[in-house]
């Protein structure tokens, strides 16, 4: 479970002047016509997410059943705990490096995932998976440049493509409507991949609910290449940490397999110092180096 200046709301911004600016921006976009959907999405992509982030997360996956209006696990969920470290780079901080390492259960300890996202629209995200039991790093690639990536993040319903940050100009956008979702005023936007992106994407369309106040995506429904609704992603427990709005829970529901995965942030810190050397392949393969650095970063977690 990919971001305009409404972001003055996210810092020390509850001054009268700052609040007035936020309201003015929101009102301007709310009056937008269909062709302005791209501008809304540009602000979503430019949203402040902090220059660095350290977190501990739990990931649970299960087959589900419908119980009234709720989805419940129909089996004992498989759970993992992992620690994740991210740092932004470049003048616009749109190049991002993220590493995630499983710390529990013991049998999967040390399994790691490394991803580099790029602002350059001609560069796709680089991804690597480290299998600690085999002591091997696997670079994640598609069969060819016209095929989507297959496989999942730590065995969950989050696919490798779901983990990548999108490029704004890889898609076209249409403002469908505005409505209330989770008691928040939202824009509802339809996103279609352009031909070049469509050739290497698992999805042919998505409908996304965007919170006007925070520019967070609260819900997204993705359609597969055959035109079937395949995944529903929802964000809950929205909080502000050190001036950054973020969800503490991300749920993905695979509508075809009837399986769901949930990521919960247990602890998190924003804008702490992260060494560049940590966000490399060495961290995946060198357990002693990895643990030494993680021990330092854990002290920043709240």
Question: 45 pLDDT exceeds 80?
Answer: yes
Question: 208 pLDDT exceeds 80?
Answer: yes
Distances (CA, A) of 137 to 34, 117, 188, 238, 292: 45, 18, 40, 35, 20
Which of 151, 158, 150 has the alpha carbon at shortest distance from 233?
A: 158
What is the C-alpha radius of gyration for the chain, rounded to an integer number of angstroms? 19
- Residue reference for tokens 């470049």: 90
Q: Length of the chain in residues, anyone?
A: 302
Q: Residue 27: its pLDDT value, please?
A: 54
- Quick one: how far is CA 15 from the chain centroid? 30
Question: 262 pLDDT exceeds 80?
Answer: yes
- Residue reference for tokens 């996956």: 61
Q: Residue 69: its pLDDT value, please?
A: 84
Nearest 10 degrees: Cα torsion 173, 175, 178, 184: 20
- Give the mean model confidence (pLDDT) for residues 266-273: 96
Average pLDDT, the chain: 89
Q: Residue 13: its pLDDT value, please?
A: 31
H or E stretch at 263: strand 259-270
DSSP 3-state of 32? coil
* DSSP state letter for 200: T
What is the torsional sign of CA 211, 90, 265, 113? positive
Question: 131 pLDDT exceeds 90?
Answer: yes
DSSP 3-state of 144? coil
Confidence category of residue 188, pLDDT binned at 50, 70, 90: very high
Which position has the higher pLDDT, 11 or 61?
Answer: 61
Q: Exposed, middle or buried by CB within 10 Å (0-12, 13-18, 19+), for 221?
A: middle
Question: Looking at 77-202, which runs of residues are DSSP E strands?
Answer: 78-89, 95-104, 112-117, 126-131, 136-139, 171-181, 184-193
Residues 6+ apart with CB under 8 A from 238: 211, 214, 216, 218, 245, 246, 247, 248
pLDDT above 70 as % of the chain: 88
Domain 5-298 fold:
outer membrane lipoprotein receptor (LolB), chain A (2.50.20)
Q: Which long-range contacts (CB under 8 A, 24 or more apart) does 142-146 make?
A: 142/200, 145/199, 145/200, 146/199, 146/200
Q: What is the pLDDT of residues 159-179, one digit of tens each?
A: 999 999 999 999 999 999 999
């Amino acid at each position: 479970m990919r971001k305009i200046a409404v972001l003055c709301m996210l810092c020390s911004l509850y001054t009268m002047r700052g609040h007035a600016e936020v309201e003015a921006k929101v009102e301007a976009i709310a009056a937008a016509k269909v062709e302005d959907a791209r501008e809304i999405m540009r602000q979503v992509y430019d949203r402040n997410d902090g220059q660095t982030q350290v977190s501990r997360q739990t990931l649970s996956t299960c087959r589900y059943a419908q119980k009234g209006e709720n989805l419940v696990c129909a089996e004992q969920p498989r759970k993992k705990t992992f620690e994740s470290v991210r740092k932004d780079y470049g003048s616009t901080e749109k190049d991002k490096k993220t590493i995630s390492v499983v710390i529990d259960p013991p049998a999967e300890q040390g399994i790691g995932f490394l991803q580099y996202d790029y602002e350059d629209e001609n560069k796709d995200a680089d991804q690597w998976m480290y299998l600690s039991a085999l002591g091997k790093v696997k670079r994640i690639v598609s069969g060819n440049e016209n095929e989507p990536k297959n496989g999942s993040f730590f065995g969950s319903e989050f696919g490798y493509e779901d983990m990548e940050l999108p490029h704004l100009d890889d898609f076209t956008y249409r403002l469908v409507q505005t409505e209330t979702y989770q008691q928040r005023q939202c824009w509802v936007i339809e996103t279609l991949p352009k031909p070049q992106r469509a050739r290497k994407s698992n999805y042919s369309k998505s409908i996304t609910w965007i919170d006007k106040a925070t520019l967070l995506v609260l819900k997204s429904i993705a359609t597969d290449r055959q035109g079937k609704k395949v995944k529903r992603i929802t964000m809950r427990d929205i909080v502000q940490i050190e001036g950054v709005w973020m969800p503490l829970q991300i749920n993905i529901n695979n509508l075809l397999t009837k399986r769901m995965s949930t990521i919960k942030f247990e602890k998190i810190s924003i804008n702490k110092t992260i060494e560049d050397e940590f966000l490399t392949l060495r961290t995946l393969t060198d357990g002693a180096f990895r643990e030494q650095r993680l021990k330092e970063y854990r002290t920043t977690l709240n």
